[in-house]
Chains A and B, each alone.
Chain A
């Protein structure tokens, strides 16, 4: 059987999703046996040009070069997967959409910097067709392996889009909102992490991105009603739950 050819690409991001591939220590050799990984710069010097069946693209589009690269990847691949929250929703870089990117740039680089073009961080789907979204900051190892395994069978996996709360309940945690009056983004966030953070007694930061029907207003009202300062709520939700494009909704629904 022909090997499945996948390309692994990174735009602007932290490489955590690519690293997650290498973190599958137990399975790595098996993966290498079944899958040809092209363009995996982080792990290999063997740059193979040409077409790939599936491109896993990490990171968001943060500079014109990213966009050019993304378009080229799209050209080269049959399927394109938004690999990780940055690619899927913009991630951290897309957090503060209210501040102009040039202001951000000048804050970091000051007046001495050579002015390079700063653009608003955006998810892949703002520019090209995305065939499948594998969210997570970083992606969950299990879901990554499931994606590869399912791709070997010629299909994308069936990945849940229910909120983190579902897994939080299933793990029989106490609800952080109710117990401690803290902001928890569980109800806004797509599960799949096994409610990792609430199970550690840490409130969910929303790193897997928003569920398709994120109800900001209801969540905000709930938290405000429990005496939490609205700015605090906004800041936490802005991390991941209200990414590029949804941030405006959050602002609108907030008051």
Chain B
């Protein structure tokens, strides 16, 4: 009988502080095993036995199957302990968990990636996937906003991508800080992600697949703007965060309404979310996403 609670020991091959308190990790599977088969949008359980476990998104793409990549923010006990590790150390991994993006549904469509802050982490997986399979998808647009320009993740990678012309990439930040990455010469802008949406980015909004991930406030405004712009509710997908302990739909912590976020999510489309009590409320006439 398979024991899905048991982690495997993966080895850290590369580790760097991507931005302050956010650690980029690249991991290799235990000897004799291969990297799991997974779909962008899925996550895994990262643990150090004795400290704990946390759900962390996979940031790499299955099209590059040698390693797994992730980006972990120092937020509490486990993540702080992870931040103290270094190359060669092992980390317990369990996964892949959850349901990723419905790739068949995206097939042939334009893809709009809409990220806020740490939300770029899981979306980078989808982004890489789309780029690695240009024949299967339409145009790729990446809109990424942060609170300050100190918080841009994968800045160089995104800027290079924008310049390469393989995708339309726009970075925007609310606040420019000393030492930050904001470079107007690269086309970086100041403002909110929703400002980017105001421009006519997509040829046919109603047909474009939207993948979005970000903090609660981000969803609140982004969904509203997308709907105003005529994007299709059935094609808006968001990643919704909840407390998770097991990732197997058993511990109950992530349960909302009739759903277990960890197995039926974390990716939900607008209707899923709308139909699930607690995920979306209508406030002041506007959808209010509780994430």
Contacts and interface: CB of A to CB of B under 8 A. Distances in A.
Nearest to A153: B50
Interface stretch (B76-84, B264-272, B279-287): B76-84
Interface in B52-88: 52, 77, 80-81, 84
Interface in A133-153: 149-150, 153
Nearest to B81: A155
B81 A158 contact: no
Contact of B84 (A149, A154, A156, A158): A154
B51 interface: yes
Contacts of A156: 77
Contact of B80 (A149, A150, A155, A158): A155
Contacts of B84: 154
Contacts of A154: 81, 84
Chief secondary structure at chain A's binding surface? loop
Nearest to A156: B77
Interface residues of B, number: 7
B129 to A, nearest CB: 35
Contacts of B77: 155-156, 158
A128 to B, nearest CB: 22
Interface residues of A, number: 7
Interface in A193-239: none
Contacts of A155: 50-51, 77, 80-81
Nearest to A149: B50
Interface in A155-185: 155-156, 158
A25 B73 CA distance: 40
Nearest to A158: B52
Nearest to B48: A153
A155 B83 CA distance: 12
B243 to A, nearest CB: 14
Nearest to B77: A155
A1 to B, nearest CB: 14
A150 B52 CA distance: 11
B110 to A, nearest CB: 45
Interface in B218-253: none
Interface centre among B51, B80, B84 (most CB of A within 10 A): B51
Contacts of B51: 150, 153, 155
A35 to B, nearest CB: 17
B175 to A, nearest CB: 28
Nearest to B49: A153
Nearest to B51: A155
A153 B80 CA distance: 12
Interface string A32-43: 000000000000
Contacts of B81: 153-155
Interface centre among B50, B52, B80, B84 (most CB of A within 10 A): B50
B207 to A, nearest CB: 47
A197 B81 CA distance: 36
A154 B84 CA distance: 10
Interface in B81-131: 81, 84
Contacts of B52: 158
A156 B52 CA distance: 11
A89 B84 CA distance: 32
Contacts of A150: 50-51
Contacts of B50: 149-150, 153, 155
A156 B50 CA distance: 10
A156 B80 CA distance: 11
Interface in B20-69: 50-52
A150 B77 CA distance: 11
A153 B81 CA distance: 9
A154 B29 CA distance: 26
A158 B80 CA distance: 14
A150 B49 CA distance: 11
B72 to A, nearest CB: 15
Contacts of A158: 52, 77
Interface in B173-229: none
A153 B84 CA distance: 11
Interface of B: 50-52, 77, 80-81, 84
10 contacts: A149-B50, A150-B50, A153-B50, A153-B81, A154-B81, A154-B84, A155-B50, A155-B51, A155-B77, A158-B52
Given A150-B50, A153-B51, 11 more contacts: A150-B51, A153-B50, A153-B81, A154-B81, A155-B51, A155-B77, A155-B80, A155-B81, A156-B77, A158-B52, A158-B77
